[in-house]
Copies of this chain bind each other. A is one copy, B any other.
């Protein structure tokens, strides 16, 4: 699907970053991420190992969750326009969780010909707990 371009002129402070939702994260998703990233920490795929260290089950790689947040932001601003993305890890994400990433524009300004926006973004689980909070800066095209 082609992304509709986001123009600086059309954005105002307080605008919402449309939600990106991952429903029912599976162990298979974690295994695919392990293979793709090369992060084979058994915490993310070895159930007895995870339970031995006191966890209820395996849990998602932090950077997988950060990837969801990043996708939410770049779906909105455009990959080529993202200048900064900061993330802060809060709650763990577990198999079966549904993760909703969303955010809003907090600032809009121009700086030496650059059209910039700043926003906050977060990934929440189905209980409304924050898995990741973050902030982004993007430079947008004018019309």
Chain A residues engaging chain B, CB cutoff 8 angstroms? 26-28, 31-32, 34-36, 40, 42, 45-49, 57
Report the nearest B residue to A41, measured CB to CB: B28
- Per DSSP, chain A at the interface is helix
CB-CB under 8 A from A26, the residues of chain B are: 42, 46
Of the residues B32, B36, B42, contact of A27 by C-beta under 8 Å: B42
Contacts A34-B35, A35-B35, A35-B36 given; does A28 touch B46 at CB 8 Å: yes
Besides the contacts A31-B40, A35-B35, A35-B36, what 9 more A-B pairs have beta carbons closer than 8 Å? Answer: A26-B46, A27-B47, A27-B49, A28-B46, A31-B45, A32-B35, A32-B40, A45-B45, A47-B48
CB-CB under 8 A from A27, the residues of chain B are: 42, 45-49
CB-CB under 8 A from A28, the residues of chain B are: 40, 42, 45-46
Q: How far is the CB of A49 from the nearest CB of chain B, in Å?
A: 7
CB-CB under 8 A from A32, the residues of chain B are: 34-35, 40
CB-CB under 8 A from A48, the residues of chain B are: 27, 47, 57
Subset of 23 A-B contacts with CB under 8 Å? A26-B42, A26-B46, A27-B42, A27-B45, A27-B46, A27-B47, A27-B48, A27-B49, A28-B40, A28-B42, A31-B31, A31-B34, A31-B40, A31-B45, A32-B34, A32-B35, A32-B40, A34-B35, A35-B35, A35-B36, A45-B45, A47-B48, A48-B57
